[in-house]
Structure 1
Amino acid sequence: MKALKKYRWPLTGALLGVLVFLAVYGVRVLDPTSVDWILNSLSPDPIQHYLGWELFRRSPVHLPYIGANYNAVYPFRTSVLFTDSLPLAALFFKLLGGILPTRFQYFGWWGLLCYALQGGLAQAVIARIAGVQPTFGRDDKSKAAIAIIMSPGQTAKLWGSMLGAGVLVLFPALTIRMFAHTALAANWLVLLALYLWLRSDELMLTTRRACLIWGGMGLLCAGIHLYYLPMVGLVLVGYAVRRALQKRGPAAVLAPIAAFCAAALAELVLLGAFAVNFAGYSNGYLSGADYFGLFVPWLAQSWEQNVYAGIGTSLAVVLAVFGIVCNARKAEKFFAAHRDWLIAGAVVLVLDLIAAGGNAITVDGKTLFTVPIPQFLMNFWAMFSSCARLAWLAGMLLAAVGCGLVLRFWDNGVAPALMLAVCAVAQGWGQRSELFNRWTDYHYYGFRYENKTLLTDPVWEQIAASGRYSHLAFATFDFEHDEFWDLVDFAADHGWTSNSFY
């Protein structure tokens, strides 16, 4: 009960995330034995994620590469990392493989977790920026922790932080990626990094503890999706810049970065990321973001370059600026007292926009100039060829800071709470078509939840039951035909290998 009272506001934000998820996707996706809604996806990505896991769960294990998948491109070796099957979840459930049903998916619950963490962490970050964290004292008699009574205005601002969390629960990148490129829906990793950074003076009193915490973040990012390594890494750079401004010494500045990189690298080695002996390919290009695309939705040249932060984010930023202008003296004192945060935050924002833009700097649909980059550096950078995604950090940072400063600089606690409620509604309204399409898709049971396999002839089960076969072989490495996924699904269900996969 004490924990519930202490964390009731982040838990309220998490509940908001859960309610939004259930409203959009329903409950049937939470059935771990229901996989047809994934296999019926119009995009190959969700099918890849699920069947990558199914092939991995029955793949043999050869140390040290515990994440290697020997069944997906037999007789070659790839990694569960490269099928975007949420490696940490895949490894955990592989340990339980003997007791799991033939068909098992964890992606529905992953989606619910993402929305819950997005809401809870968003509330915590916004409240921290707003300076309205509930505080606790000690009862003189029982010595137990008790909540200190807050003013009605402070309580209203805490409600406002929860309403502001709605802006991030409805963050466009989360909406667009969920059950499309599911691992990339872990926007909460960025919020967690921001929260740890904001609380670093309390949580990271020693360099050793800072290394443990940031090393743990490296493990999480590498075990979920690689694109979160640079996003969270940039937040870590902000932490390091602030430590440098505080003159904490080289170890306090550099050791956490080394711990983050070392932990991520060690995990990638174990996952088999560098032991793949199946020839892959490099895109060889950078798909950068249009900087105005954070605020103007129609500037994205492709789905991958959609970095729109939402109308609710833009509105929160405008209201925050207006509040700062109207309270110039208060703002001057606040920013003077938090100069190190301001500088470090600016460094993070600028570096993120540079990384997200790629080598072609584009503003308002026009390429201003292209930066010549040596080919060896281009080949390295091309590992993150869809670099526009990195601008999600900038979008979430603007949303969180905007909501937090609205609460800090509008003195009346009720008014800013209502403003953030409007921002959250506006954020959802701006995505009404996408949200409605997803609601329709996941609530129309006839389309989503029926087995539509093309392998309906009973002879298929006779072949599997004969025990004569254990390998599925395609003549070409081509998955652009209707029966490909049905055949791989059949192979995965029966413990066979496949020589071709996405």
Structure 2
Amino acid sequence: MTPTPQSPAYASLAGALAALAGAATIIVLFGWHVVPPDSQHWILSGMIGPDPVQYWLGWNFFREAPWSWPPGLNPRYGMELASSIFYADSIPLLAFLFKAIQPLWEVPQYWGIWLLACGALQAWLGWRLVGLATSDPIARLAGALLFVIQPMMLNRLGGHFALGAHWLLLWGLLLALTPGGRWRVPGWALLVLAASLIHSYLLPMVLAFWTADLWRRRGVGWRLPLEMALVPAAGLAGLWAAGFFVLDTGFAGTRERFGEMQMDLLAPINATVWGWLLPTLPDTGHVEVNGSYVGLGALILSGFALFVRPVRRHWPLMVVLGLMLAFAITHRPSFAGHQVTLFPLPERLVEMASALRASERFYWPMAYALMVAGAVGLVRLAGPPLAGLIMAALVVVQVVDLQPGFRRLASYFPPDAPQMAAQLQHPFWLAAAGQYTAIRAVPAANQGPYWEPIAVFAAQRRMVTDAVYLARSDEAAKERLRADVLARLAEGRPEPGTLYVLRDADSLAAARAGQRAGRDALFFLDGIHVLAPDWGDTR
């Protein structure tokens, strides 16, 4: 029997084709060289900043550590400052998987595999979502491509790998738009668990979709308390396993506060560095201003949402989307870069919201919902066959518009980019790696001077270090460590097997004051002051 568009066999084949198209798009845009797990030069090139190096370090220290409880603890990366694989932004879901199978397959980096998976899942779920409007294969495949070929996701995959998991948002949107079933509660629990093991920014968005769906299905009887317990518990379990709760303080970070990285009201139509068919408009200038443009083709598709009449059962979803949009705009809205504070917020509330300080990202759910509504509106207006051709044309418009963005992506991880040159090149370092098992950076800091070459050197030589870059860190622990190490150095009590990199005048003065004649050596190598305890005994 020949498969038809309504048959399960046809649906499976078409869905697989959409997923392959999504993965192929990632390969075209980023290159095959990022995929092999042994290919690490593109991560360690440092061409787009320290974040990919941070992810690589988190994983490479984590895989050397024994399993712990909770399993996400990462004591080798940070020593007293260490937290967990969660705060290294190394995608705990994959870190757990590849650490578990490490006896069978050692994976130096899994982010290339992750990029492929994000492209495939984004396309497949986009295909499912367009399928709510039509079974036309051209429309569904074209719609799937529009969900992949757009800057909101690609901008994240170009460096903030975990945040590229926009398929979590599409999964949540799909569950919120479709009728219930017996697998619905396990589906939500699995989605929330996955989000908690990928990135904390995406988790509240997923939970918002679940809240809307729960509101829509109010009156589900005895299942309601079970679902209200199970789904949040899945998220808490994932956060606990990944090591989210190991910090007592520092969740808000030390950078921009809530209301300083908000969405400009023109951001959805501001092409910025991504498109060339629409102009670049004034903006607030913060680092997230590239994150809300979806491309001209996707914008045109979203415009067809005007032809969709709101359905009563979707009002909870619309309310939740509106609240997330309000959070993205914040109490300090901006128009073409001009900010105004509508009303003050209590300092305690600002502090709490600052844990999600890059609030512009909360526009993503609305943008995806508008694309789905646009597909529905287009199909209702033009009919399935013509709607499919129009959506295919919109893919062409999208590709043409985003040429500047594609060139930008190609510059992130070029195949010929050299691995970051070792900054610790003096022969001393290799000799020291044979004598010392730990290397400290004094004073302790999160992303302090020389953190990157020290941490990379330690990872490659299987040493432990407190030279770290973490998404969040415990400020109190940092201050305690600073005082303790400075006192040790000044009193001539260095820790056995520990090398010290001295990053300021106070630490250098303390090392000189406590230097033990004939035992400890002070060097100035590669532009860095170093204290090598007991170096004199062995040289």
Fold in common (TM above 0.5): yes
The equivalent residue for 2:64 is: 58
C-alpha distance in structure 2 between counterparts of 1:290 and 1:451, whole Å = 36
C-alpha distance in structure 2 between counterparts of 1:5 and 1:200, whole Å = 22
How far apart are residue 99 of structure 1 and its match?
A: 4.7
The equivalent residue for 1:486 is: 453
Report whether the alignment pairs 1:123 with 2:150.
no
Give 1:498's aligned amino acid. T
Report whether the alignment pairs 1:318 with 2:303.
yes
C-alpha distance in structure 1 between counterparts of 2:451 and 2:82, whole Å = 20
C-alpha distance in structure 2 between counterparts of 1:239 and 1:217, whole Å = 13
Return closer, same or farther for 1:179/1:4 CA change in 2, 3 Å cut-off: farther
Write the deviation string for residues 343-374 of structure 1: whole angstroms up to 9, x where unpaired.
Answer: 23321321121121222133444435433222
Return closer, same or farther for 1:60/1:363 CA change in 2, 3 Å cut-off: same
Of residues 46, 59, 75, the one that matches 2:52 is 46
Of residues 68, 86, 90, the one that matches 2:91 is 86
Q: Is the 8 A contact 1:171 1:310 kept in 2?
A: yes
- Matched residue SS, 1:291: coil
Q: Is the 8 A contact 1:32 1:104 kept in 2?
A: yes
How far apart are residue 82 of structure 1 and its match?
A: 0.8
Write the deviation string for residues 1-32 of structure 1: whole angstroms up to 9, x where unpaired.
Answer: 99753312222221221121111111111110
Return closer, same or farther for 1:463/1:111 CA change in 2, 3 Å cut-off: same
Matches within 5 A, 1:449-464: 449-450=418-419, 452-457=421-426, 459-464=428-433
C-alpha distance in structure 2 between counterparts of 1:236 and 1:499, whole Å = 39
How far apart are residue 237 of structure 1 and its match?
A: 2.1
Q: Is the 8 A contact 2:195 2:202 kept in 1?
A: yes
- Matched residue SS, 1:7: helix
Report whether the alignment pairs 1:177 with 2:159.
no
Q: Is the 8 A contact 1:320 1:409 kept in 2?
A: no
Of residues 437, 462, 467, the one that matches 1:470 is 437
C-alpha distance in structure 1 between counterparts of 2:388 and 2:20, whole Å = 18
Give 2:128's aligned amino acid. A
Q: Is the 8 A contact 1:131 1:408 kept in 2?
A: no
Return closer, same or farther for 1:437/1:309 CA change in 2, 3 Å cut-off: closer
Give 2:200's aligned amino acid. L
Of residues 17, 25, 41, the one that matches 1:12 is 17
Report whether the alignment pairs 1:188 with 2:167.
yes
Q: Is the 8 A contact 2:23 2:116 kept in 1?
A: yes
C-alpha distance in structure 2 between counterparts of 1:362 and 1:161, whole Å = 36
Q: Is the 8 A contact 1:161 1:417 kept in 2?
A: yes
How far apart are residue 107 of structure 1 and its match?
A: 0.3
Of residues 307, 321, 340, the one that matches 1:349 is 321
Q: Is the 8 A contact 1:214 1:257 kept in 2?
A: no
The equivalent residue for 2:102 is: 97
Matches within 5 A, 1:127-142: 127-128=131-132, 130-132=133-135
Write the deviation string for residues 448-481 of structure 1: whole angstroms up to 9, x where unpaired.
Answer: 24462234455544433x3x21111112326465
Write the deviation string for residues 99-135 of structure 1: whole angstroms up to 9, x where unpaired.
Answer: 555x70000010000001111110111111x143xxx
Write the deviation string for residues 303-338 of structure 1: whole angstroms up to 9, x where unpaired.
Answer: 2243223222221123453xx3xxxxxx66xx5xx4
How far apart are residue 257 of structure 1 and its match?
A: 4.5
Matches within 5 A, 1:145-156: none
Return closer, same or farther for 1:426/1:370 CA change in 2, 3 Å cut-off: same
Return closer, same or farther for 1:274/1:255 CA change in 2, 3 Å cut-off: same
Return closer, same or farther for 1:320/1:93 CA change in 2, 3 Å cut-off: same
Return closer, same or farther for 1:67/1:3 CA change in 2, 3 Å cut-off: farther
The equivalent residue for 1:146 is: none
Structure 2: segments with no counterpart, 5+ residues: 272-280, 470-539
Give 1:350's aligned amino acid. G
C-alpha distance in structure 1 between counterparts of 2:465 and 2:370, whole Å = 45
Q: Which range is displaced more, 294-303 or 234-243?
A: 294-303
From the CA coordinates, give the structure whose radius of gyration is larger. 2
Give 2:287's aligned amino acid. W
Report whether the alignment pairs 1:496 with 2:439.
no
Matches within 5 A, 1:37-436: 37-42=42-47, 43-63=49-69, 65-101=70-106, 104-128=108-132, 130-132=133-135, 157-201=136-180, 204-205=181-182, 209-244=183-218, 247-249=219-221, 255-276=226-247, 282-283=253-254, 285-286=257-258, 287-297=261-271, 298-301=281-284, 302-305=286-289, 306-321=291-306, 324=307, 338-341=311-314, 343-411=315-383, 413-436=384-407
C-alpha distance in structure 2 between counterparts of 1:399 and 1:41, whole Å = 35
How far apart are residue 173 of structure 1 and its match?
A: 1.5
Return closer, same or farther for 1:462/1:97 CA change in 2, 3 Å cut-off: farther
C-alpha distance in structure 1 between counterparts of 2:431 and 2:337, whole Å = 57
Q: Which range is displaced more, 37-46 or 256-265?
A: 256-265
Q: Is the 8 A contact 2:118 2:164 kept in 1?
A: yes
Return closer, same or farther for 1:387/1:252 CA change in 2, 3 Å cut-off: farther
C-alpha distance in structure 1 between counterparts of 2:369 and 2:59, whole Å = 33
Return closer, same or farther for 1:177/1:230 CA change in 2, 3 Å cut-off: same
How many residues in Structure 1 have an aligned counterpart in Structure 2?
A: 448
Give 1:45's aligned amino acid. D
- Matched residue SS, 2:339: strand
Structure 1: segments with no counterpart, 5+ residues: 133-156, 325-330
Give 2:208's aligned amino acid. L
C-alpha distance in structure 2 between counterparts of 1:3 and 1:456, whole Å = 60
C-alpha distance in structure 2 between counterparts of 1:359 and 1:451, whole Å = 42
C-alpha distance in structure 2 between counterparts of 1:32 and 1:58, whole Å = 17
C-alpha distance in structure 2 between counterparts of 1:278 and 1:57, whole Å = 26
Return closer, same or farther for 1:424/1:41 CA change in 2, 3 Å cut-off: farther
Write the deviation string for residues 131-185 of structure 1: whole angstroms up to 9, x where unpaired.
Answer: 43xxxxxxxxxxxxxxxxxxxxxxxx22112101221101212111114111000
How far apart are residue 68 of structure 1 and its match?
A: 1.0
Give 2:93's aligned amino acid. L
The equivalent residue for 1:138 is: none
Return closer, same or farther for 1:15/1:182 CA change in 2, 3 Å cut-off: same
Q: Is the 8 A contact 1:293 1:299 kept in 2?
A: no
Return closer, same or farther for 1:349/1:173 CA change in 2, 3 Å cut-off: same
Give 2:266's aligned amino acid. F
Give 1:127's aligned amino acid. G
Q: What CA RMSD, in Å, does the superposition of the two structures yield over aligned residues?
A: 2.6
- Matched residue SS, 2:137: helix
- Matched residue SS, 1:51: helix
C-alpha distance in structure 2 between counterparts of 1:76 and 1:59, whole Å = 16
Q: Which range is displaced more, 54-63 or 168-177?
A: 54-63
C-alpha distance in structure 1 between counterparts of 2:282 and 2:170, whole Å = 26
The equivalent residue for 2:483 is: none
Return closer, same or farther for 1:406/1:254 CA change in 2, 3 Å cut-off: farther
Aligned-pair identity (%): 25
